[in-house]
Amino acid sequence: MNVLVVNAGSSSLKYQLFDTNTNIVKAKGLCEYIGSGGTAGTEGNIKHKVNGKINLERAIPMPNHAVATGIVVEMLTHHEFGCIKNMDEIEAVGHRIVHGGSYFSDSVLVNDDVVAKLEKCIDFAPLHTPPHLMGIRGCMEVMPDTPQVLVFDTGFHKSIPEEAYIYPIPYKYYEKYQIRRYGFHGTSHKYVSQEMCKILGRTEGTKIVTCHMGNGSSVAAVKDGKGIDTSMGFTPLEGVSMGTRSGSIDPAIVTFIMKKENFTPQRMDEFMNKECGLLGVSEVSNDSRDLEKAIKEGNPKALLAMNILAYQIKKYIGAYSAAMNGLDAVVFTAGIGENNYLIRERICRDMDYLGIKIDEKINEKTLLLPNAVEISTGDSKVKVYVIPTNEELVIAYDTADIVNNLIKM
Ligand code: AMP
């Protein structure tokens, strides 16, 4: 089945046309500067790639997500730049949705009731949900007869038990506002943990820690193939230090800084999401490549920022091993996890008490590889792998499953 996977941001729309029969990405691309009003240089832009053969970039006005979707469809069906003959060959659309709130965890077919419920999720993810809705409405306008499915970043974590998802605040706030741990990066944790289970040759009885380390980072404990805990919480702000997000800090720091700096709640939110993490500590950059370069040049704050992240991930691996009563495998994935061998080394150093031993030479060479690579030594009790994530594949398969069931009904 040809599934168009859509990831709509506030001014962007990332897409992939994925064929679930052949596992091939037929085309992919990115629309940027959507809705920026036609100011010079930012009137809308599409980067479009087909099967490694076509690679083009065009400036095209994109006043809204519906226009951007129309342009994507035009590109996909273009006689020269396309890969399908007409729009009917797009058999389904799968949307990546950051937060399903208390309404959704499983992927769901879009209808009016689903859209109304997603609108109620705006409070949970005010930056992400409105653009998701624009993307859904844009696709509904351009492809009214094509089934649309929502796949939630929170979905994989639905199996987390109560003691891991209820916060120790008055219970009534869980009931009143649904404040609980939801967890994010679910499609990534699902994909890499399933790949790891294939490598281990079993799902039942497996105990895996998946470390998704990118601009946003989260760690998950996956037991018997199911998520049982994760570091992100009510929002993607909790957990380990990230590119610009603070991760978990003493909650008293929040009110302390607000008082001292005269910050409004909105300003504090922006501060914790945009000015902390790797960027805040290093005062250099949120990008780990810049930090590794600065470390080589002897910058101590850059080293500290990366050491904090490594130390926190190490602690989560230990904590989740305790939570699962053991550990079979650790997986590193996403931009930093897949490409930065130095942080993998910092994390895995002195972990032999847990049975983790990595081969530093193999680890060092593991960069930009398309497939899973084992970086643990032959005698390491715990397998350590680098597995490139593939969130689009999970979205495409979930979408195809739901649409196939619809056809059977
Ligand atoms: P993501 O959010 O998964 O796209 O990851 C972004 C992070 O991955 C940034 O901190 C980048 O520095 C890091 N990253 C991406 N590609 C590479 C690479 N080739 N080498 C080292 N780090 C990389």
Whole-number Å distance, alpha carbon 40 to ligand 1 midpoint, is 30
Answer whether residue 245 shows pLDDT above 60: yes
Answer whether residue 35 shows pLDDT above 90: no
Query: What pLDDT is attached to residue 41?
Result: 54
With b for 16 or more beta-carbon neighbours within 10 A and e for fewer, the 122-147 pattern comes to bebbeebbebbbbbbbbbbebbeebb
Q: How far is CA 228 from CA 208, 214, 220, 409, in A?
A: 10, 21, 8, 33
What percentage of residues in the chain have a pLDDT greater than 70? Answer: 98
Average pLDDT, the chain: 94
Answer whether residue 338 shows pLDDT above 60: yes
Question: Is 277's C-beta closer than 6 angstroms to any atom of ligand 1?
Answer: no
Q: Which residue has the tokens 């944790």?
A: 189
User: For residue range 132-165, what is the model confidence (pLDDT) as tens digits?
Assistant: 999 999 999 999 999 999 999 999 999 999 999 9
What percentage of residues in the chain have a pLDDT greater than 90? Answer: 88
From the alpha carbon of 340, which atom of ligand 1 is closest?
A: 21
Q: Which residue has the tokens 């997000």?
A: 245
Query: What pLDDT is attached to residue 408?
Result: 74
Cα radius of gyration (the chain): 22
Is 153 noted as a catalytic residue in this protein? yes
Lowest mean pLDDT among 6-10, 267-271, 318-322: 6-10
- Give the model's confidence band at 52: pLDDT under 50 very low, under 70 low, under 90 confident, else very high: confident
Extract the tokens encoding 238.
């909790």
pTM as predicted = 0.94
Answer whether residue 73 shows pLDDT above 70: yes
Whole-number Å distance, alpha carbon 32 to ligand 1 midpoint, is 20
What contacts 24+ positions apart, CB below 8 Å, involve 367-373?
Answer: 367/338, 367/339, 367/341, 368/338, 368/339, 369/338, 372/195, 372/196, 372/199
Question: Is 288's C-beta closer than 6 angstroms to any atom of ligand 1?
Answer: yes
Cβ neighbour number for residue 186 with a 10 Å cutoff? 28
Pocket test for ligand 1, best of 289, 333, 386 (most atoms within 8 A of CB): 289
Question: Is 339's C-beta closer than 6 angstroms to any atom of ligand 1?
Answer: yes
Pocket test for ligand 1, best of 340, 365, 391 (most atoms within 8 A of CB): 340
In three state form, how does the secondary structure of the chain look? Answer: CEEEEEEECCCCEEEEEEECCCCEEEEEEEEECCCCCCCCCCCCEEEEEECCCEEEEEECCCCCHHHHHHHHHHHHHCCCCCCCCCHHHCCEEEEEECCCCCCCCCCEECCHHHHHHHHHCCCCCCCCHHHHHHHHHHHHHHCCCCCEEEEECCHHHHHCCHHHHCCCCCCHHHHHHCCCCCCCCHHHHHHHHHHHHHHHCCCCCCEEEEEEECCCEEEEEEECCEEEEECCCCCCCCCCCCCCCCCCCCHHHHHHHHHHHCCCHHHHHHHHHHCCHHHHHHCCCCCHHHHHHHHHCCCHHHHHHHHHHHHHHHHHHHHHHHHHCCCCEEEEEHHHHHHCHHHHHHHHCCCHHHCCCECHHHHHHCCCCCCCEECECCCCCCEEEECCCCHHHHHHHHHHHHHHHHHHC
Closest residue to atom 4 of ligand 1, CA basis: 335
The end-to-end CA distance of the chain, in Å, is 17
Q: What is the Cα–Cα distance from 67 to 79, expressed in whole angstroms?
A: 20
Question: Is 218's C-beta closer than 6 angstroms to any atom of ligand 1?
Answer: no
Pocket test for ligand 1, best of 30, 213, 293, 336 (most atoms within 8 A of CB): 336
Q: How far is CA 58 from CA 109, 166, 266, 360, in A?
A: 33, 48, 36, 43
Query: What pLDDT is attached to residue 51?
Result: 82
Whole-number Å distance, alpha carbon 314 to ligand 1 midpoint, is 19
Q: What is the Cα–Cα distance from 47 to 55, expressed in whole angstroms?
A: 7
Closest residue to atom 16 of ligand 1, CA basis: 335
Answer whether residue 407 shows pLDDT above 80: no
Whole-number Å distance, alpha carbon 380 to ligand 1 midpoint, is 27
Mean pLDDT on 237-246: 97
8 A C-beta contact, residue 220 and residue 193: yes
Residue 15: phi, psi to the nearest 5? Answer: -140, 155
8 A C-beta contact, residue 310 and residue 271: no
Closest residue to atom 14 of ligand 1, CA basis: 335
Closest residue to atom 18 of ligand 1, CA basis: 339
Cβ neighbour number for residue 297 with a 10 Å cutoff? 9
